[in-house]
Amino acid sequence: MSVTSGPAEAIPAAEVEDVELYHPRSWLTKYVFCQDAKVIGVQYALTAIAIGLVALVLSWLMRLQLGFPGTFSFISPEAYLQFITMHGMIMVIYLLTALFLGGFGNYLIPLMLGARDMVFPYVNMLSYWVYLLAVLVLVASFFVPGGPTGAGWTLYPPQAILSGTPGGQDWGIILMLASLILFIIGFTMGGLNYVVTVLQARTRGMTLMRMPLTVWGIFTATVMALLAFPALFVSAVMLLLDRLLGTSFFMPALAEMGQQLQYDGGSPILFQHLFWFFGHPEVYIVALPAFGIVSDLISTHARRNIFGYRMMVWAIVAIGALSFVVWAHHMYVSGMHPWFGFFFATTTLIIAIPTAIKVYNWLLTLWRGDIHLTVPMLFALAFIVTFVNGGLTGLFLGNVVVDVPLSDTMFVVAHFHMVMGVAPIFVIFGGIYHWYPKITGRMLNEAMGRIHFWVSFLGAYMIFFPMHYLGLLGVPRRYFEIGEMAFVPPSAATLNAFISIVALIVGAAQILFLFNLAWSLRHGRPAGGNPWRATTLEWQTPQTPPGHGNWGRELPVVYRWAYDYNVPGADQDFIPQNQPSPGRASPEAAA
Amino acid sequence: MNKMAVAVVLILLAVGSVVFHFLSPWWWTPIASNWQYIDHTLIITFWITGAVFTAIVLFMAYCILRFRHREGRSANYGPENRKLEAWLTVGTALGVAAMLAPGLIVWHSFVTVPPDATAIEIVGRQWQWSYRLPGQDGRLGTTDIRQISPDNPLGLNPEDPAGQDDVVIEAEDLHLPIGRPVKVLLRSIDVLHDFYVPEFRAKMDMIPGTVTYFWFTPTRTGTFEVLCAELCGVGHSAMRGRVVVQEEGEYHAWLQEQHTFARQLAQVR
């Protein structure tokens, strides 16, 4: 059966009762304690962006130290480790995960599937408030004695809970672990919602194989997160017990600064396995929603059907499954049994194949398209460049023996920033420029958007591309200062200063973006219901921004896949999913 | 105008990255061990990934030049092309295999310690390196964290006869003879560390409670810097040391001057 469109006459007319929704009764229940997934999505996104700003400032501070060592006396070795730790943790968990799943997931899943809301709106609301609490606990760790933890975002014991690490014997590590535990509780409430909504609340005609790839990406990532986060949850609980009650889950017999400690019999490497059993799927928990969203951006703005839709879906599912058997490629030099290397190198390089297929299909969607270089499209193109670059350097690090000289160097830092920092964030930007008109009813300012794009794209590439070569040289990561090293030429310091200056500029461009978000709210060009002439259901709502319940009296009925652009014989260059026949506009689209 | 700019920037980015790669003054350190195979595998990976990256970015630039929106243009409608998708999958699989196969072969030799390798021990603690060499008997004695004291900082078992002639080197450089394979046993007495000499290419974490290892053969004399490559607390970036690779004769002359564990203990008592 073709995925593109089904026979219209097979689907009876919509006969949908008004479902039981919670209707807000006051300003407080409409905008604050709100159960509408659209508002929750925006709450998630704004909170994630706010805490992301903290991470941005931290990255500035660490770049000041690396670019101009010794110049800023307030940056101590302790502070530097705290900066890198909190920057990493915020970006991976509290920004990327929360923004893709909590932000885009909440806003888009019900709208794209033709549902009125998530299936458990009250739990959905709780999910956001627990997430906010997790963020507040995280922020609190900046203000406690000893400051936040400086254990690195991987929190490896024993050092994470010992006195040689900032926050190890103070409040820092305790609040960090508590915050992670809260985050996972909050995420689980939201995540179950997304999965059940996708499986149970799709509108008539919206088969799984007609869902937009955005939903496929978010759905698969959520399933993965529900399976992976428990590993982090138990490791956080056990590490907290080791720290507070003196248990020895991860702590062997050891002597700290000549003093015997009471721990005995625990395994530090067990923590690493648990951490990466979560940590590697986490990479794809961030990447898969980005894959999905970018597929829809490229298709819409190239006015061409996504190429190889079924292959794209299977690639998402295959990547999701494979990502659970590659975790120990983060541990090639951890001292685990060396024979693991053969297995994990093989699985890791195999995952490159479905990933490459996705890249080819994005390119083949551009090919013979009608490419509109809108701001969302520009960010989608920038995503492809940075993702391919970072994905290819992953083939160095995944191929066990090549990883040996490169692990724990700046090469790794450059690699993961390119592939899971810069690339997904470009998709977030692309997504925000794309859906802002639906959320607010106004377009983001185009000129500001283009400046933001060019500075971010070229700047990020200039930061992270040369950084690989510092790692190749042998410069280790997580170093407060390189100091005197015979093998490091003076030119490396020049490069570090250059990278730092570019990082300051790229950071400043993000402030322009935030200004644009606020400015366009009142001054942006009115968008209308479907400014990009897109096919998916969220653009066919009777009101923009969509009202409570999304669809008015009747739910939309889906007759085709999400990618009917430039269908031969159709009277316009797109056919909405809820339009029965190519030539005739549906009542929803006309409204 | 703006549309051309996007394509031109992509072309410049692809070409610029390749030019940067060849002109970069930042490149790996001259190798000083037998692991030139690692360097070869890395070079193969650079060629394959570099070609793919350049091809993809240039293809994007081509698409933008050729298929960018103009008045009256319409896109081609074509959901799938099974044959093309199959060819791309097979081609990718071959490219991946071309990198993985040599990688696994070299990894096999990396984890296979030659029987004639001399075992030495490197101990990490916050934030310094210590070393232990087997004495005349060629064996290292047993250790226990609970034996650690100011007089016995590495926790050697004083009852173990095999440990009496071990040479303990603290706060000094490690010396190694050239051309002889070494099995490095790695031990930590507090947190994770990682013994890292860029010129040797090999590295491995040390974990308290476990002994880990790697092996290599020094192939060049000289003094090399030791770094810690696994975050170990505030002193991480200051945890430095040196390895001196010498000709056999010089090495033995140095070894003669070192004290055995038994003699150190006797001095204390």
* A283-338 pLDDT tens trace: 999 999 999 999 999 999 999 999 999 999 999 999 999 999 999 999 999 999 99
Cross-chain CB nearest to B205 (options A256, A333, A353):
A333
All residues at 6 or more sequence positions from A506 whose CB lies less than 8 Å from its CB, including other chains? A455, A456, A459, A460, A463
Cross-chain CB nearest to A353 (options B42, B96, B205):
B96
> What does residue A164 show for φ and ψ, rounded to 5 degrees?
-75, -5
pLDDT of residue B215: 97
Is residue B269 within 8 angstroms of chain A, CB to CB? no
Cross-chain CB nearest to B234 (options A165, A396, A573):
A165
Q: What is the ipTM of this complex?
A: 0.95
Closest CA to A191 of A233, A231, A225: A225
Q: Which residues of B touch A573 (CB under 8 A)?
A: 74-75
Cβ neighbours of A526 (radius 10 Å)? 11
Decide if A404 contacts B203 (C-beta within 8 A): yes
With a cut of 70, list the residues of chain A below it in pLDDT: 1-22, 583-591
Contact A478 B236 (CB under 8 A): yes
List, as ranges, residues 52-111 from B with C-beta within 8 Å of A: 52-53, 56-57, 59-60, 63-64, 67-69, 73-81, 84-85, 88-89, 92-93, 96, 99-100, 103-104, 106-108, 110-111
Decide if A565 contacts A550 (C-beta within 8 A): no
Angle at A79 between CA B228 and CA B232, to 5 degrees: 25
pLDDT of residue A430: 98
Q: Which chain B residue has the Cα nearest residue A385?
A: B57
Contact B237 A395 (CB under 8 A): no
* Structure tokens given for A243: 């720290």
d(C-alpha A563, C-alpha A585), whole Å: 16
Closest CA to A373 of B4, B58, B217: B4
* pLDDT tens, N- to C-terminus, chain B (269 residues): 466 889 999 999 999 999 999 999 999 999 999 999 999 999 999 999 999 999 999 999 999 999 999 888 888 898 888 899 899 999 999 999 988 999 999 999 999 999 999 999 999 999 999 999 998 888 999 999 999 988 889 999 999 998 889 999 988 999 999 999 999 999 999 999 999 999 999 999 999 999 999 999 999 999 999 999 999 999 999 999 999 999 999 999 999 988 888 888 887 76
Closest CA to A187 of A86, A105, A290, A279: A105
CA atoms within 13 A on the CB side of A392: 25
Phi-psi region of A343 (alpha: psi -120 to 50; beta: other; left: phi over 0): alpha
Beta strand pairing call for B174-177 and B241-246: parallel
Cross-chain CB nearest to B111 (options A3, A305, A338):
A338
d(C-alpha A424, C-alpha A147), whole Å: 30
Closest CA to A384 of B201, B37, B64: B64
One-letter amino acid at B178 equals: I
Is residue B199 within 8 angstroms of chain A, CB to CB? yes
Beta strand pairing call for B174-177 and B182-188: unpaired
Contact B231 A568 (CB under 8 A): no
pLDDT of residue B151: 86
> What does residue A399 show for φ and ψ, rounded to 5 degrees?
-85, 90
d(C-alpha B212, C-alpha B150), whole Å: 25
Contact B145 A260 (CB under 8 A): yes
Contact B190 A566 (CB under 8 A): no
Phi-psi region of A399 (alpha: psi -120 to 50; beta: other; left: phi over 0): beta
Q: Which chain A residue has the Cα nearest residue B1?
A: A373
Q: Which residues of B touch A487 (CB under 8 A)?
A: 29, 198-199, 225
The H helix count followed by the E strand count for chain A is 18, 2
Q: Give the SS3 label for residue B131.
A: strand
Token look-up 């894959």 returns A291
Where does chain B have alpha helices with state H? 2-23, 36-67, 82-111, 248-256, 261-268
**Cα B216 to chain centroid, rounded:** 11
Q: Which residues of B touch A334 (CB under 8 A)?
A: 205, 207
Q: Which residues of A touch B170 (CB under 8 A)?
A: none
Cross-chain CB nearest to B236 (options A307, A474, A479):
A479
> What does residue A364 show for φ and ψ, rounded to 5 degrees?
-75, -15
Contact B209 A334 (CB under 8 A): no
Provide the terminal-to-terminal Cα distance of chain B, rounded to the nearest Å.
85
Q: Give the SS3 label for residue B177.
A: strand
Strands of chain B, DSSP E: 118-125, 128-133, 167-170, 174-177, 182-188, 193-196, 203-206, 212-216, 222-228, 241-246
Contact B49 A396 (CB under 8 A): yes
Closest CA to A366 of A303, A432, A280: A303
Closest CA to A110 of A429, A438, A529, A442: A438
Kindly report the pTM of this predicted structure: 0.94
Contact A573 B236 (CB under 8 A): no
d(C-alpha A515, C-alpha A520), whole Å: 8
pLDDT of residue A184: 97
